[in-house]
Amino acid sequence: MFTKVEFAKYINAYQEVWDDRKLVIGPHIVVRGNEKNYVLFKMFNLPNNNNIKKINNAYFEDAIAKCILFKEAEKRYGTKVNDYNIGELRQVVVPYTLSLLNIIVDNKLDLYRIWKNQQVSPLLSDFIYDLMKQVNKFILDKSPITHYIEWAKKEDCWEQVKNHSWSFNINEIKPNLIDENNPSKRNIIADTENSEETRQHEENIIRSIPFALWKKIETWGRDTSLLSIQNQSAASDTAYKVKNGKNLSDSDRSKAMKIFDIVCQYNIELLEEADELVEQEKTTTETQQANGNSTLNEITLELVQKMVEWDRKKRILEDWKWKAMHNVSEGRKELTDRMKSAFLMNLEKLKKHGFE
């Protein structure tokens, strides 16, 4: 877990960012403090919408690797309360050293390796430790003022650090660098939020919940305050569109699925009433009842049990989604069609992460 300002610190400390010929992100910016650093992170270091950078699984994995890297450096630097510490400039030396490391390796550190292992290798950790000791001494020796941290906030300090000749053996961390002849294979998960397959599956779920249950969900959300006024209104609109067979726009579908997720998380038992209510509704068509049955047949109790065991270690699904499947696998809940619809979405997500 980390806050948005901590996240900005991990990302900004890793690599310089230039705006034309002006250096706008560097470790000296990180040293200026969380709030100032965060403002510049939002301005210059957030993925944008021009397809050059985008938030996908690769961005997420690299970001977590940078977080792990930063925390490892902090741990190795130490503090006064530890039995060991390099000095008293941890807030300066850690971001400076990580930025310097990225320059030394020419931006070829294998972040995916860190992500997969969820830790920094001992060799890389030792390399960072030795580099931090040198950076710490350099700042103490070269600072023109006794307030070392104030000097470290200036771009001039960072320029001197970059231009200094450091003592290191790059071969020591060669296994931690990207092998350009044999790079790690990484599956980039495509954005399927607007795909026809996803839209159809979500609409199947929405229409499988009868009018009476959508109205009951609206009432439940109001009584428990778990649905906002906007979501209560959306539940009501969805109810009437399902009842009258009206088209669902992308916005309608998105709102309805958000409500569905809230119900699954906080009162999944409510969905178990769907089958009984369907029988009571004279307006439910045979088409609506059959919609998606062929794909739902794929979800068996045996498959659910396999998904539960696989995700027990991988932890891909949100906890509440895993617990819902676990309850079914243990026999505490019945594997209804409503459950199958939700578990089918879980299955697709797990497949993207290697589940077979």
CA–CA gap between residue 257 and residue 264 (Å, rounded): 10
Looking at per-residue pLDDT, the higher value among 180 and 178 belongs to 178
Task: Tell which residue, 129, 119, 121, 123, has the closest CA to residue 98.
Answer: 129
User: What is the pLDDT averaged over residues 161-182?
Assistant: 94
Chain segment 22-36, per-residue pLDDT in tens: 999 999 999 999 999
CA–CA gap between residue 36 and residue 208 (Å, rounded): 50
CA–CA gap between residue 3 and residue 336 (Å, rounded): 39
Q: Which pLDDT does position 278 carry in this prediction?
A: 61
Nearby residues of 209 by Cβ (< 8 Å), 6 or more positions away = 217, 242, 260, 271, 274, 338
Chain segment 130-168, per-residue pLDDT in tens: 999 999 999 999 999 999 999 999 999 999 999 999 999
Chain segment 254-310, per-residue pLDDT in tens: 999 999 989 988 888 888 776 666 655 543 344 334 444 546 778 899 999 999 999
Task: Tell which residue, 90, 337, 301, has the closest CA to residue 210.
Answer: 337
Q: Which pLDDT does position 49 carry in this prediction?
A: 46
Note if the pTM is more than 0.85: no
CA–CA gap between residue 352 and residue 301 (Å, rounded): 21
